[in-house]
Amino acid sequence: MADGAPGRDGPDNPDHPDHSDCSDRPDRPAQDRYEGVGVGTAAVAGPVARMGQAPPEPAAGPAPGDPGDPGDPGDPGDPGRERAAALAALAAVAADLRARGTAAGGATADVLEAQAMMAEDPELADGVTGRTAAGLSAARAIHETFAEFHDTLAALGDYMAGRVADLDDIAARAVAVASGVPMPGLPRRDEPYVLLAADLAPADTALLDRRLVLALVTAEGGPTSHTAILARAMGIPAVVGAAGVLALADGTPVLVDAAAGTVVANPSTEAMEAAVARSCAAAAAAARTGPGRTSDGTAVKLLANIGGPEDVPEALAAGAEGVGLFRTEFLYLDSDAPPSFEAQVKVYKEVFDGFGADARVVVRTLDAGADKPLPFVPLGEEPNPALGVRGLRAFRAFEGRNEAILRTQLLAVREAAGTSAPEVWVMAPMVDELPEAEWFCDLAAACGLDVAAGRVGIMVETPASALTAGPILAGRTGFVSLGTNDLTQYTMAADRMLGAVGPLQDPWHPAVLKLVGAAGAAGAAAGKPAGVCGEAAADPLLACVLVGLGVRSLSMAPSAIAEVRGALAARTLKECQAMAARATGAATARDARRAAGA
Ligand code: PEP
Ligand code: MG
């Protein structure tokens, strides 16, 4: 990167062309600053490219005349001209989809070719021809024709739902072309850009070209929005929930600082230099390998969250020091019958054998509940399932009706661990209080697991267990692992499945941090480990705060490990503690993040 010429600086985009030196721009307008929730730590600069919006429904009624040629005998609403415009719009959409497919390659190219062929369907062409002949404008004829096809396809049921969405997408694009406005969807650019959108849908993001998209900025969404999850997985810095940012015009140069959660329009050279220098230091630190530690040597185990053996290679490639959360229920979501002892031994052993003797693998026992129903664990009808029988409760309720399933699982873990290299730990989800934890330890001990060695623990996912982690750890429980996804849900009384309360699902909230601190302090006092295995561990800045709160292992999606390793390596334990003190003293999640990053 040239001196003072910031560009994309993340380790995931090393050969990115530098294109964002704004230092010689004359007449710089006043800066505009927008604040949101940052994802990642990088700071990048580049021009804004806005996501195209769906065009409004074209007006009903006859086609307007050509105002530029009022004397033309074909006016008003020349059907021939409207027909040609409509067919040209469909052809342009087909060509655009093919060009995008060629650029993306692979399976995406096949999907987009199929969509392009839909746009060229002769029946659609007949439909718009008939409607323009009847006097409709090109845009209206396209709209009505596609609406009719939409209804026909939709009537065929769920199976055709994907095709209906494809059809609607083509209609929106063709109406836009016929109306002379930009097509909705991802902008087409040959140069790198900062993608600006209200929010991003999965279908939009599947086509993102990582070489061109410097950063994502959205006006809506929170830290657990699809955009944030995707940005984290792809290693693209993002600022989500930046209210007002849609006011920025296409092409406006912006500085996106994910660590600070800010978007600055028309930034000064000095601001860009400072942000990018800090970001480069973080990227260099992220490029390091080896075990997790702070810059002054406090060990923080960096572990992977996995759902089965297929996730092990990615965890190893990321340098995970083991597994901090093996979500075993993911293996059995489609099973009608409880998995057999033998089947479980086989699959657990497959996972364990991926790791060496210096690794730890933490198996979470089946986490059944309304959000992850297991057909073979009957739970009964519940009016308020997030607060119902789930996690460990599912195996203790109903007079222990489901207990045999848990017992078989623990025996299978014991059997598979017996002949495997890594240290195998087990933990139960959704434990609220000491008696539940002791019940689990008893059952695990009866199944041959080494409770005395501290390998049987619980997940802290409710305020109750966070606040009573002291008494729980004074018992037989060997460790606690904080499930910050559920801990946030239950602290904020905000259903994690409900988009309407998504912004409250923010683990940066000081109330959540204080609960993490309570469990961390309890772990330190008892001399037993406290870790985090929720999404919070994957946020590099928050990871430092968690360490400052006493957490000594962080388990996350493997793709997040490098950045978290880098963020820890750039700070001493004292600095992490100071960040934690500032964050827990804040009033809101947003303030906590800002205070930690200051
Ligand atoms: C959590 O709640 O943070 C957690 C790790 O468990 P899950 O997301 O599987 O509920
Ligand atoms: Mg959970």
pLDDT of residue 2: 31
Beta bridge partners of 480: 458, 530
The alpha carbon torsion through 354, 359, 365, 366 (nearest 10 deg) reads -40
Q: Is 531's C-beta closer than 6 angstroms to any atom of ligand 1?
A: no
pLDDT of residue 107: 65
Q: What is the largest CA-CA distance in the chain?
A: 95
Gyration radius (Cα) of the chain, Å: 28
- For residue range 86-130, list pLDDT tens digits in order: 999 999 999 988 887 787 676 667 778 888 999 999 999 999 999
Ligand 1 geometric centre to CA of 408 (Å): 23
Q: Is 461's C-beta closer than 6 angstroms to any atom of ligand 1?
A: yes
Confidence of residue 151 (pLDDT cuts 50, 70, 90): confident
Q: Is 393's C-beta closer than 6 angstroms to any atom of ligand 1?
A: no
Q: Is 327's C-beta closer than 6 angstroms to any atom of ligand 1?
A: yes
Min mean pLDDT across 14-23, 228-237, 360-369, 561-570 is at 14-23
pLDDT of residue 8: 33
Number of CB atoms found within 10 A of residue 380's CB: 9
Ligand 2 geometric centre to CA of 429 (Å): 7
- % residues pLDDT > 70 (the chain): 87
Residue from 459, 481, 496 to probe ligand 1 pocket by mutation (most atoms less than 8 Å from CB): 459
Mean pLDDT of 236-255: 91
- For residue range 523-544, list pLDDT tens digits in order: 999 999 999 999 999 998 999 9
Report the nearest-CA residue for atom 9 of ligand 1.
Answer: 327
Ligand 1 geometric centre to CA of 484 (Å): 7
- For residue range 458-468, list pLDDT tens digits in order: 999 999 999 99
Min mean pLDDT across 2-11, 30-39, 254-263 is at 2-11
Q: Is 330's C-beta closer than 6 angstroms to any atom of ligand 1?
A: no
Query: Is 24's pLDDT higher than 70?
Result: no
Query: Is 236's pLDDT higher than 60?
Result: yes
Ligand nearest to the CA of 364: 1
Mean pLDDT of 421-443: 97
Beta bridge partners of 247: none
| Ranges of H-type helices in 48-137 | 79-104, 106-119, 122-133
* Cβ–Cβ under 8 Å, residues 437 and 481: no
* Cβ–Cβ under 8 Å, residues 86 and 138: yes
The more confidently predicted of residues 136 and 5 is 136
Residue from 327, 332, 480, 555 to probe ligand 1 pocket by mutation (most atoms less than 8 Å from CB): 327
Residue from 329, 430, 461 to probe ligand 1 pocket by mutation (most atoms less than 8 Å from CB): 461
Which of 424, 452, 427 lies closest to 440 in space, CA to CA?
427
Query: Is 400's pLDDT higher than 90?
Result: no
pLDDT of residue 1: 30
- For residue range 554-593, list pLDDT tens digits in order: 999 998 898 899 889 889 999 999 999 999 999 999 899 8
Q: How far apart are CA 419 and CA 103, in angstroms?
A: 48
Mean pLDDT of 402-415: 97
- For residue range 331-358, list pLDDT tens digits in order: 998 899 999 999 999 999 999 999 999 9
Tokens of 124: 């659609």
Ligand nearest to the CA of 371: 1
Confidence of residue 5 (pLDDT cuts 50, 70, 90): very low
pLDDT of residue 29: 46
Residue from 325, 371, 460, 465 to probe ligand 1 pocket by mutation (most atoms less than 8 Å from CB): 325
Instruction: List, edge to edge, every strand of the sheet that includes 238-240.
Output: 32-35, 262-265, 253-257, 43-50, 193-197, 213-218, 238-240, 37-39
Best-predicted range by mean pLDDT (185-199, 214-228, 273-287): 185-199
Query: Is 16's pLDDT higher than 50?
Result: no
Extended strands (E) in 417-573: 423-431, 456-460, 480-482, 530-532, 553-556
Confidence of residue 30 (pLDDT cuts 50, 70, 90): very low
Confidence of residue 6 (pLDDT cuts 50, 70, 90): very low
Which atom of ligand 1 is least distant from the CA of 305? 5
Report the nearest-CA residue for atom 8 of ligand 1.
Answer: 485
**Percentages of the chain per state (helix, strand, coil), in multiples of 5:** 45, 15, 40
Active centre residues (catalytic) = 226, 533
Ligand 2 geometric centre to CA of 340 (Å): 24
Min mean pLDDT across 156-160, 379-383, 485-489 is at 156-160
Q: Is 436's C-beta closer than 6 angstroms to any atom of ligand 1?
A: no
Beta bridge partners of 62: 136
Cα distances from 59 to residues 63, 138, 174, 192, in angstroms, run 9, 11, 15, 36
- For residue range 44-80, list pLDDT tens digits in order: 889 999 988 888 899 886 665 554 443 343 344 689 9
Report the nearest-CA residue for atom 10 of ligand 1.
Answer: 486
pLDDT of residue 298: 96
Q: Is 472's C-beta closer than 6 angstroms to any atom of ligand 1?
A: no
pTM: 0.64
Ligand 2 geometric centre to CA of 371 (Å): 10
Confidence of residue 198 (pLDDT cuts 50, 70, 90): confident
pLDDT of residue 25: 34
* Cβ–Cβ under 8 Å, residues 534 and 510: no
Report the nearest-CA residue for atom 6 of ligand 1.
Answer: 483
Ligand 2 geometric centre to CA of 413 (Å): 20
Q: How far apart are CA 443 and CA 541, in angstroms?
A: 38
Query: Is 14's pLDDT higher than 50?
Result: no
Q: Is 307's C-beta closer than 6 angstroms to any atom of ligand 1?
A: no
Measure CA 189 to chain center: 25
Ligand 2 geometric centre to CA of 467 (Å): 17
Query: Is 250's pLDDT higher than 50?
Result: yes
Extended strands (E) in 279-422: 301-306, 322-327, 360-364
Which of 573, 578, 95, 531 lies closest to 297 in space, CA to CA?
573
Ligand 1 geometric centre to CA of 367 (Å): 9
Which atom of ligand 1 is least distant from the CA of 489? 2
Which atom of ligand 1 is least distant from the CA of 429? 6
Query: Is 507's pLDDT higher than 50?
Result: yes
Q: Is 53's C-beta closer than 6 angstroms to any atom of ligand 1?
A: no
Mean pLDDT of 235-242: 88
Min mean pLDDT across 158-167, 312-321, 362-371, 471-480 is at 158-167
The more confidently predicted of residues 303 and 187 is 303
Q: How far apart are CA 233 and CA 246, in angstroms?
A: 24
Q: What is the mean pLDDT of the chain?
A: 86
- For residue range 262-303, list pLDDT tens digits in order: 999 998 888 877 777 777 666 666 666 789 999 999 999 999
End-to-end CA, the chain: 26
The alpha carbon torsion through 510, 512, 517, 520 (nearest 10 deg) reads -160
Report the nearest-CA residue for atom 4 of ligand 1.
Answer: 483
